[in-house]
Structure 1
Amino acid sequence: MHLKQVPAKEGYQWFRQGLTIFRRNPAGMLLTFFSYLLVVGLLSAMPLVGHLLTMLLVPAVSVGFMAACRDVLLGKRIGPLTLLSGLREHGALARRRLLWMGLVYLVCSTVVLAVAAAINSDILADVLPVDAPTGKEGELPSMWPIVLFMLLMIPVGMLFWFAPVLSAWHDTGVRQAIYISWLAVWRNRAAFVVYGLLWLALMLVVSLAVAILFRLLGGATLPTLLMIPFSLVLTTMLFCSFYATYLGCFEGPEMDGFPNVPA
């Protein structure tokens, strides 16, 4: 398998291909993503341990969602159990690697959160809201702490963007998979910038439309209710596009079993 270097305009292709994958089976992809949210919600109900388990399972779930995208393109049925394919279909070694990777991800995320909290003490209330005090009624919360946390998470995202699938699908060790993931994102950083800006623009447009509707209706609950399904659809589309970035950054005989996204 070889690492590709693509031009910046490829970021638009990844964005568009994510929408294409979603359109192939929107109900199945939404059900898969909703199942993930349900599991996260159930785990989060467990004090402290639930949040740790959620972070620990991120790499495994990442493989599962990528497998769902692959299966959709192959015309196969997908469902909630597809999310567990990373732990079920690749043997004990891959399972151990994914769990170790989850532990490394947990440590990295904790360090980022600690650094962000040192810069802005309000970030814990915004990123991990637990009975946190809110502002005035009807006042939108400040996005600065969340934006700060997301910016600091970019290096962590580079390390783990491809690492889970490299480990599970291509029998790569944890350290090597993390390094290759970072190298792939860095080498194609221009395309990733375009890709990220396009998703950011789409989400801002949707958020702005909901905010305008919120103002026009005088703070009615309808815009807030509309934001929930919009957010679910947008996030699912974003997750679908991860598979497109994987196809766009790697090539070779090992990739023959992975279907391309139709033009």
Structure 2
Amino acid sequence: MKLQIVPARIGVQWVKLGVQTFWRQPLALAALFILAIVGMSLISIVPLIGPALALALLPATSLAMMVAAAEATQGRFPTPALLLVAFRTGRQRLNAMVMLGLLYAVGFLAIMGLSALIDGGTFAEIYLGGEPMTREIAEDPAFQSAMWLSMALYIPLSLMFWHAPGLIHWHGIPPVKALFFSLVACMRNWRAYLVFCFAWMAFFMACGIVLALLTGILASLIGTVAGGIMVGAAMILAAMFFTSIVFTFRDSFSAPDPTNPADAELLEE
């Protein structure tokens, strides 16, 4: 496994491939993503440990969407069983994915804890607990400081975990090394990832404008249905985004070993 340096323009290509691949199997990929979100939401209800367990499952969910996108690229139908792909590839990789999930939960909760030192936990309660946002809270300097600190700290955390699930699954890299290699890959190819980020933002904004116009028309005709359309569209866009992650992984590292059956899921373009 070797790190590959890619040009900045490939960031747009990753977005295109994510959207195109999603529409090859839209029902399967959307259903897989929604099942994962619903599952994590139900787990988060468990008292005390629920939110932490839900956070720990996020790397496994990311991997499931990566494998599902690879399946769709090969013309195969991604099944709901892929939600468990992180836990079905042998004891060594199972232990590695469990450790990765725990590290993510600890890192995320540590960020929330640091933000609580600034605003007394208001930002954490809104972000994790679903507490209502008010204008007074949004204008509170302490809340704003906690929010910006959390965003600043979450960026390196997300970069470390961006490729880590794929590195464990396809290359058998230990968790800590996978986190390091993921961060290095994102930093070395920062131009491509920046373009990738801006391309998705532009795509989301364009879709948002179209949806706002559509729901504005529908709201006057059929009322509450418009809100359901917005929620459904948001889930589809999120599923498209997660579908595109596998292409960032494929191009950031050398091609998997074709003699390894697990590696056959990643195709050359």
| Range of TM-score over shorter length | 0.7 to 0.9
State the partner residue of 2:153: 152
State the partner residue of 2:100: 101
1:259 lines up with 2:260 in the alignment: no
Residues 186-197 of structure 1 aligned to structure 2 (within 5 Å): 186-197=187-198
Structure 1 residue 149 displacement after superposition: 3.8
1:48–1:205: structure 2 CA closer, same or farther, 3 Å change rule?
A: farther
Structure 2 CA distance for aligned equivalents of residues 224 and 18 of structure 1: 26
Q: Once the two structures are superposed, what CA deviation does each residue of 1:137-187 show, in whole Å capped at 9, x if it has no partner?
A: xxxx88967676444311001111111111121111111111110110000
Residues 49-128 of structure 1 aligned to structure 2 (within 5 Å): 49-88=49-88, 90-120=89-119, 121-128=121-128
RMSD: 2.8
State the partner residue of 2:250: 247
Give the counterpart letter for 2:154 in structure 1: M
Q: Once the two structures are superposed, what CA deviation does each residue of 1:95-143 show, in whole Å capped at 9, x if it has no partner?
A: 001101111111111111123333445312331134x24548xxxx889
TM (normalized to structure 1)? 0.86
1:52–1:125: structure 2 CA closer, same or farther, 3 Å change rule?
A: closer
Contact 2:126–2:132 under 8 Å retained in 1: no
1:39–1:74: structure 2 CA closer, same or farther, 3 Å change rule?
A: same
1:237 lines up with 2:240 in the alignment: yes
1:135–1:221: structure 2 CA closer, same or farther, 3 Å change rule?
A: farther
Residues 120-139 of structure 1 aligned to structure 2 (within 5 Å): 120=119, 121-130=121-130, 132-135=131-134
TM (normalized to structure 2)? 0.84
Structure 2 CA distance for aligned equivalents of residues 128 and 226 of structure 1: 25
Runs of 5+ unmatched residues, structure 1: none
Contact 1:97–1:167 under 8 Å retained in 2: yes
1:195–1:119: structure 2 CA closer, same or farther, 3 Å change rule?
A: farther
Contact 1:43–1:54 under 8 Å retained in 2: yes
Contact 1:126–1:146 under 8 Å retained in 2: no
Structure 2 CA distance for aligned equivalents of residues 260 and 223 of structure 1: 41
Contact 2:53–2:105 under 8 Å retained in 1: no
Structure 2 CA distance for aligned equivalents of residues 46 and 10 of structure 1: 42
1:151–1:225: structure 2 CA closer, same or farther, 3 Å change rule?
A: farther
Equivalent residue pairs, number? 255
1:215–1:30: structure 2 CA closer, same or farther, 3 Å change rule?
A: closer
Residues 146-185 of structure 1 aligned to structure 2 (within 5 Å): 149-185=150-186
1:134–1:153: structure 2 CA closer, same or farther, 3 Å change rule?
A: closer
Structure 2 CA distance for aligned equivalents of residues 8 and 20 of structure 1: 20
More off after superposition, 225-234 vs 235-244 = 225-234
1:147–1:201: structure 2 CA closer, same or farther, 3 Å change rule?
A: farther
Give the counterpart letter for 1:75 in structure 2: G
Structure 2 CA distance for aligned equivalents of residues 111 and 186 of structure 1: 23
Structure 1 residue 214 displacement after superposition: 7.0
Give the counterpart letter for 1:61 in structure 2: T
